[in-house]
């Protein structure tokens, strides 16, 4: 896991100073190394002696901060290809990099054992056999198994490409104005250069190509598996026995990929079956597994996590959240996730708090149970969808939820863990696990409109693997409710004079226009308890004020541009 930053100046002015400034605010993403490349000059910007060496400051620069998981200290980026044509920076993990390296043609000069350098030489080969950089990137995406955001400079054509994996597990942002094009793993790095710069996302499965003169075009380079065709009527697995065999095989492989080479890992552990199953499998794949949890005193998540960890003989560490610690954390969390939406902040807070403990234990990689509800039908409103619209419509909603995870969950959780220099891995979002899950007849996961549990195949596998029935079939509250966070933030807001009387009619109108983030907000209103998922306006107003104080601006990230919404809808409809 790393951080990428880049600048293309349209007026042929030097970019080194801007690049160093951008990297300076992302040091948490790369405590193990930092480097920049301007033209063909590479330096460590923390070593002033190197920067004092005479060189010509170029109009394009690429910088990288690195958290070393694979490749050791020799894996410092950016990398440059053997022929000097390509410079590349990568954030993420490629799980089949050893197999790719073996298949590469002889003659490549490797300077590290890094998975990122393998991407470089793979793209080098694909570019040699392609007519364009986009064609080469499309071929590359078909080979890569992993999560990534990538920045590439083609020194022959002058093109720069910003690339993101299919689900958008790793984010990349960019901005354009008359003077320059900037891009980075976090928005704050771009904001540093221009206050209220308008920031956009590189969309999942896409490449944004920037010409030598600074014009931008977006291309789709990665396609979803065929099993996600929402119109399908026939399924590969129609019995529970078939589904369990296929799911077990894909999940075990996903876990082995992500634990390979790791002696010590952490688990974001809520006590729900999704994180419990990850911890249960991980303990046989790594020498040391530590589970981390956070919540208010006596909250259901803490109590159940403690009970489960003892029953399953798992090591658990808990960070108890108080009103005082919450008030201290809120500005830090809003700064970390670059977001002020109440649900996003409330969900991030217990994870942020848990990661404080993981950092003290020198944990570099944590696993989460993210993605199960979307691919196995675990949300409590899904049975209502079956009742009112049928199973085919349910699949449409599940696919929509899966392909909106990038901005509703994945970006938030990446930034929350990386605020502590920790990489998050999501085994349930492995491409083979997703393919398998959507090859299963949805009737096996939700048994009719009155099924209050859902994700039956997932629960049954957990039980078959040795997890007790009462744990495997427990229904867990949403993170912000199970941890008690929602109620403590409400109390803090009121103590700071943010209550219902502070909320104006104009502010309520503004709230109505904001994008609803998360399946709970989109469907919870229609099919579930509206009050449970509705953001209290006085809480949102309080968080808006903190955001303004942190960033000195009244607007969050992209508040989702119309163009992005159209592109997202187009992707989902195509599937």
Q: How many residues does the chain have?
A: 575
- CA 492 – CA 163 distance, rounded (Å): 41
Taking only the tens place, the pLDDT of each residue in 437-493 is 999 999 999 998 889 899 999 999 999 999 999 999 988 655 555 567 888 999 999
By percentage, how much of the chain surpasses pLDDT 70?
87
The strand pairing partners of 208, in sequence order, are 162, 218
Q: Is residue 414 helix, strand or coil?
A: helix
Asked if the bond preceding 349 is cis, omega within 30° of 0, the reply is no
Q: What is the pLDDT of residue 53?
A: 39
Taking only the tens place, the pLDDT of each residue in 154-192 is 999 999 999 999 999 999 999 999 899 999 999 999 999
Average pLDDT across the chain, whole number: 88
What backbone phi and psi angles, to 5 degrees, belong to 319? -105, 110
Q: What is the pLDDT of residue 561?
A: 55
Q: What is the pLDDT of residue 33?
A: 75
- CA 575 – CA 573 distance, rounded (Å): 5
What backbone phi and psi angles, to 5 degrees, belong to 227? -65, -15
Q: What is the pLDDT of residue 225?
A: 84
For 255-332, list the strands marked E by DSSP: 264-268, 288-295, 315-320
Q: Is the pLDDT of residue 408 over 70?
A: yes
**How many CA atoms, within 13 angstroms, populate the side-chain half-sphere of residue 4?**
31
Residue 513's CB is within 10 A of a number of other CB atoms, namely: 7
User: pLDDT class for 342, splitting at 50, 70, 90?
Assistant: very high
Q: Which of 454, 459, 450, 473 is nearest to 379 (CA)?
A: 454
Query: Which sign, positive or negative, has the C-alpha torsion 113, 114, 120, 125?
Result: positive
Q: Is the pLDDT of residue 556 over 80?
A: no
Among 2, 25, 82, 509, the one annotated catalytic = 2
Active site residue 2: yes
Taking only the tens place, the pLDDT of each residue in 491-511 is 999 999 999 999 999 999 998
User: pLDDT class for 525, splitting at 50, 70, 90?
Assistant: low
What backbone phi and psi angles, to 5 degrees, belong to 416? -65, -45
Q: Is residue 94 helix, strand or coil?
A: strand
User: pLDDT class for 554, splitting at 50, 70, 90?
Assistant: low
Give Cβ neighbours of residue 90 (< 8 Å, ≥ 6 apart): 2, 4, 77, 115, 116, 119, 148, 149, 150
Which is it for strands 60-66 and 146-154: parallel, antiparallel or unpaired?
unpaired
CA-atom Rg of the chain in angstroms: 23
Give the DSSP per-residue string, 146-209. Answer: EEEEEEEEETTT--EEEEE-TT-SS--EEEE-SSEEEEESSHHHHHTTTSS---EEPPTTEEEE
Taking only the tens place, the pLDDT of each residue in 42-64 is 555 544 434 433 345 678 999 99
Q: Is the pLDDT of residue 274 over 60?
A: yes
Q: Which stretch of 66-70, 298-302, 446-450 has the lowest confidence by average pLDDT?
A: 66-70
The domains found in the chain, sorted by start residue, are 2-220 (3.60.20.10), 242-574 (3.40.50.620)
Q: Which stretch of 201-205, 484-488, 555-559 has the lowest confidence by average pLDDT?
A: 555-559
Q: What is the pLDDT of residue 457?
A: 98
Q: What is the pLDDT of residue 97?
A: 95
Taking only the tens place, the pLDDT of each residue in 1-45 is 689 999 999 988 889 999 999 999 888 887 777 888 886 555 555
What backbone phi and psi angles, to 5 degrees, belong to 209? -105, 125
Q: Distances in Å between the alpha carbon of 557 and those of 188, 200, 412, 519?
A: 9, 8, 12, 20
- Helices first, then strands: H and E counts in the chain: 26, 18
Q: What is the pLDDT of residue 49?
A: 36
């Amino acid at each position: 896991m790393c951080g990428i930053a880049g600048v293309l100046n349209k007026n042929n002015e030097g970019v080194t100073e801007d690049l160093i400034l951008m990297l300076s605010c992302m040091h948490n993403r790369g405590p193990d190394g930092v480097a920049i490349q301007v033209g063909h000059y590479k330096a460590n910007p923390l070593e002033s002696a190197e920067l004092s060496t005479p060189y010509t400051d170029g109009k394009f620069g690429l910088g990288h901060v690195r958290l070393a998981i694979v490749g050791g200290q020799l894996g410092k980026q950016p990398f440059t290809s053997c022929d000097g044509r390509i410079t590349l920076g990568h954030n993420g993990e490629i799980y089949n990099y050893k197999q790719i390296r073996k298949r590469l043609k002889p003659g490549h000069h490797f300077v590290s054992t890094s998975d990122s350098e393998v991407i470089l030489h793979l793209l080098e080969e694909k570019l040699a056999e392609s007519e364009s950089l986009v064609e080469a990137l499309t071929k590359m995406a078909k080979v890569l198994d992993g999560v990534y955001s990538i920045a590439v400079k083609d020194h022959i054509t002058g093109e720069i490409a910003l690339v993101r994996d299919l689900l958008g597990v790793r984010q990349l942002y960019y901005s354009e104005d008359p003077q320059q094009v900037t891009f980075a793993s976090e928005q704050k790095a771009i904001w540093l250069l221009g206050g209220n710069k308008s920031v956009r996302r590189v969309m999942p499965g896409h490449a944004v190509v920037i010409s030598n003169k600074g014009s931008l075009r977006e291309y789709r380079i990665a396609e979803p598996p065929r099993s996600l065709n929402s119109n399908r009527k026939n399924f590969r697995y129609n019995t529970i026995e078939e589904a369990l065999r296929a799911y077990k095989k894909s999940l075990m492989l996903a876990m082995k990929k992500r634990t390979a080479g790791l002696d010590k890992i952490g688990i974001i552990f809520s006590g729900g079956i999704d994180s419990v199953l990850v911890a249960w499998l991980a303990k046989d794949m790594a020498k040391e597994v530590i589970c981390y949890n956070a919540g208010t005193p006596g909250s259901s998540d803490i109590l159940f996590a403690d009970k489960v960890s003892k029953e399953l003989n798992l090591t658990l560490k808990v960070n108890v959240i108080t009103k005082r610690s919450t008030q201290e954390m809120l500005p830090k969390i809003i700064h970390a996730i670059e977001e002020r939406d109440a649900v996003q902040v409330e969900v991030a807070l217990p994870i942020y708090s848990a990661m404080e403990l993981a950092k003290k234990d020198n944990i570099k990689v944590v696993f989460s149970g993210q993605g199960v509800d979307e691919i196995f039908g675990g949300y409590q409103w899904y049975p209502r969808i079956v009742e009112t619209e049928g199973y085919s419509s349910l699949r449409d909603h599940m696919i929509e939820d899966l392909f909106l995870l990038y901005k509703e969950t994945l970006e938030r959780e990446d930034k929350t863990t990386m605020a502590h220099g920790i990489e998050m891995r999501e085994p349930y979002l492995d491409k083979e696990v997703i393919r398998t899950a959507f090859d299963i007849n949805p009737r096996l996961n939700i048994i009719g409109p009155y099924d209050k549990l859902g994700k039956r195949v997932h629960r049954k596998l957990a039980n078959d693997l040795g997890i007790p029935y009462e744990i495997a079939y427990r229904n867990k509250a949403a993170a912000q409710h199970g941890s008690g966070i929602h109620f403590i933030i409400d109390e803090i807001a009121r103590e700071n004079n943010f209550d219902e009387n502070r909320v104006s009619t104009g502010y309520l109108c503004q709230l109505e226009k904001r994008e609803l983030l998360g399946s709970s907000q989109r469907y919870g209103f229609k099919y579930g308890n509206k009050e449970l998922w509705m953001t209290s306006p006085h809480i949102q107003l309080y968080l808006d004020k903190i955001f303004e104080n942190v960033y000195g601006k009244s607007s969050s990230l992209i508040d989702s541009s119309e163009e992005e919404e159209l592109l997202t809808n187009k992707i989902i409809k195509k599937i």
